[in-house]
């Protein structure tokens, strides 16, 4: 899926740089271009692409200090500059735009929903948000910011691909020590997803196409991405177990949003050397994902890749009913103070919850 990336805020910029670098290293060519946007001048200086400093009249290049309402306001005021920087980068080839942001801070959390809304008004291609949830031990402000931002980006974008910082954290490491490793892990997964529909070698009916990614995300709301890989044999028949076990790990322990296995739709992509991918294994894995997610809309396809390993990449659409998202929204509400005792019968109701204000 040929994509243009817009990193908003510090986390958004760094993750965008990691995504672009992975795509270049692998020679995929799925990332057509990238820009970085921030209210903090120093965070933009190290980024290897064009950047736009917003909110100079309000914060003078010093960041918004976690105030995501201010982040939303300055993006609203300066969005024309951001849209101008995109001019000429979004061409007839571009199939999607990803706004990349940490949802717990100020600039990315507030800016991403405003920018997604503006982009959707101008472009016909899908506008997705790659959003990062704060880890559990980050403070109340981060949880509240992320709760409000998530609720708003889910409405203002075509879908939110959600990543929980806790999902990729190594034990004994502080959140900030682990950021580079977390960004690399996310970049590998999202980079493979973007490249999957771009495969030109071995094109056949079993090869996954970008339109299947778009269709899996079509219902909107929240999406998650799972990944696992294993050594492969040169003989396809001997890889049936590898395909099944990587698929189980990908969904049960390898997702960007832990415990989000209840989904409305899914796409199971098996990556590896084309003649080592067992058809029987791929079909069995697809049916297993159908059972696990409870979804009748599970697509499947191959991603031909010169590698001695087999990988299973699973895109899940419509995971807002999952325990993980519900637990996060609960955490955000508790941080707002009085909603902890509330009993909800239908988890979908949280999207209509008035105690967690929309940002826009």
**Residues within the annotated binding site for GTP?**
10-14, 106-108, 138, 165, 183
**Residue pair 128/217 in contact by the 8 Å Cβ criterion:** yes
Q: Toward ligand GTP, which CB reaches closer, 109 or 210?
A: 109
Q: Do the Cβ atoms of 219 and 267 come closer than 8 Å?
A: no
CA angle (60 as vertex; 140, 183 as ends), nearest 5: 50
Residue 248 CA to residue 236 CA, distance in Å, equals: 19
User: Would you list the DSSP string of 228-277?
Assistant: EEEE--SSGGGGHHHHHHHHHHHHHT-BSSTT----SEEEEEEEE-GGGS
Which residues contact ligand GTP (rule: CB under 6 A)?
A: 9-12, 14-15, 38-40, 63-66, 102, 104-109, 132, 134, 138, 142, 165, 175, 179, 182-183
SS3 sequence, 117-175? HHHHHHCCCCEEEEEEECCCCCCHHHHHHHHHHHHHHHHHCCEEEEEEHHHHCCCCCCC
Q: If we measure between CA atoms, which residue out of 320, 321, 265, 255 comes closest to residue 298?
A: 265
Cα 222 to its chain centre, rounded Å, is 9
The two three-digit tokens of residue 156, written as one number: 């203002």
């Amino acid at each position: 899926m040929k994509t243009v990336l817009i990193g908003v805020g510090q986390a958004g910029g760094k993750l965008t740089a990691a995504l672009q670098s992975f795509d270049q290293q692998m020679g995929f060519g799925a990332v057509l271009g990238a820009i970085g946007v921030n209210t903090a001048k120093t965070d933009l200086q190290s980024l290897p692409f064009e950047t736009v400093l917003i909110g100079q009249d309000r914060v003078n290049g010093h960041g918004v200090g976690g105030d995501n309402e201010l982040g939303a306001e300055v993006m609203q005021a300066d969005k024309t500059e951001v849209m101008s920087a995109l001019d000429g980068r979004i061409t007839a080839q571009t199939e999607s735009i990803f706004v990349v942001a940490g949802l717990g801070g100020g600039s990315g959390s507030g800016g991403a929903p405003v920018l997604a809304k503006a982009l959707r008004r101008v472009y016909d291609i899908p506008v997705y948000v790659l959003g990062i949830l704060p880890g559990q031990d980050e403070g109340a402000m981060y949880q509240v910011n992320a709760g409000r931002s998530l609720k708003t980006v889910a409405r203002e974008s075509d879908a939110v691909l959600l990543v929980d910082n806790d999902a990729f954290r190594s034990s004994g490491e502080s959140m900030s020590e682990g950021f580079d490793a977390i960004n690399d892990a996310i970049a590998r997964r999202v980079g493979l997803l973007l490249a999957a529909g771009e495969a030109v070698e071995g094109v056949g009916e079993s090869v996954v196409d970008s339109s299947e990614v778009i269709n899996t995300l079509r219902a909107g709301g929240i999406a998650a991405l799972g990944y696992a890989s294993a050594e492969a044999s040169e003989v396809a028949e001997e890889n049936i177990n590898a395909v099944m076990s990587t698929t189980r790990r990908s969904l049960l322990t390898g997702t960007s949003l832990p415990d989000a296995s209840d989904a409305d739709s899914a796409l199971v992509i098996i990556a590896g050397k084309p003649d080592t991918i067992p058809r029987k294994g791929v079909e069995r894995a697809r049916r297993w994902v159908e059972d696990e997610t409870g979804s009748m809309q599970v697509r499947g396809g191959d991603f031909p890749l010169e590698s001695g390993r087999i990988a299973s990449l699973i895109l899940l659409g419509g995971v807002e009913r999952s325990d993980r998202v519900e637990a996060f929204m609960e955490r955000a509400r508790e941080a707002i103070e009085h909603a902890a005792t509330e009993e909800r019968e239908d988890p979908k109701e949280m999207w209509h919850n008035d105690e967690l204000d929309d940002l826009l």
